[in-house]
Structure 1
């Protein structure tokens, strides 16, 4: 696919023209969708899911609008995805667009259903600046979303007094050296406890730890 931006009409054409992009050896696949029916045709939906599962992609993340939790069938399917190793989060509000990004090299944006039963219109992009922009928007939405298991179970990570103190230190904006000194511990110990807190909150960064703590009501 030499063009940097291509418009494709209908699910079946999209699968046919992009199937090779889901071949083995892919590193990352991310998807943002309003519901589980992004692919209107069952055969296209099955082919897309099979392609991702068979590709052996190492990192798969899927972000959904809250409406996806409306029925038991959808919740069961999402839990199955998690059991297969897919990271699933639910956005706080409805997602305005549906998109797929593969290896940060290709992005697919889903449009509306076209008249005449042609299916949805898709925009496939390979231009690095466009793909990078779409990926950045996905990351921003992902950072503020809630993990599926935590949302369904209502469970919140349990933070002891020490972890809450570390969390407050992170929120204060103090340097590691200053925070460690205020807490009366070594810099190495402080950083080890910060790393442990990030794991507890399933956060990839200190900034994300603050967001996650806020979402779960753990900042108090």
Structure 2
């Protein structure tokens, strides 16, 4: 009899144990209005500060159009304009005594017009801002009269290599030709036969420091 009661009690306890969780789950899934309770799932990245959400395309600022091409063109034009403004002047004019001269820096030609020279050429050019060594040729256009007593007349014109129309250069009244061609290293074989040296009394160091190899002053 005792054994039967114990088995009966054990059966009742087991039944309560097995049916209890089922009722609890059923109760938790249904609210008072017999409607299913809404449940939510937590995503793996929810709440993490190191995960960035993709930006909405609606909030993106419109891209600005590049102005590099326009700026480059403007800068190029500006630089070209500056270069044109500060570029060297090809033609320079001046006077020596009563003779007007023109210098072309592109060809190195120094051209004297009719008149009477009054000073040495290198000083005259320096006053006008011309570098002496840029003179390569000298032309006498019209009757140009040499000064009677000026030393160093053609001196320090280091690149001078040629006289053009030298027959238009009148030296008949010259008495002093000292140092006239000093340091004219480009003048190696000048043709000075047209020089009138009949009144010259002093030719001291006329070609000092020059590279003259041959010379004809037979006239």
TM-score grouping bracket, smaller chain normalisation: under 0.3
Larger Rg: 2
TM-score (ref. length: structure 1):
0.23
Specify which structure has the higher proportion of strand.
Answer: 1
Greater RCO, CA 8 A, separation 6+: 1
Normalization by structure 2: what TM-score? Answer: 0.23
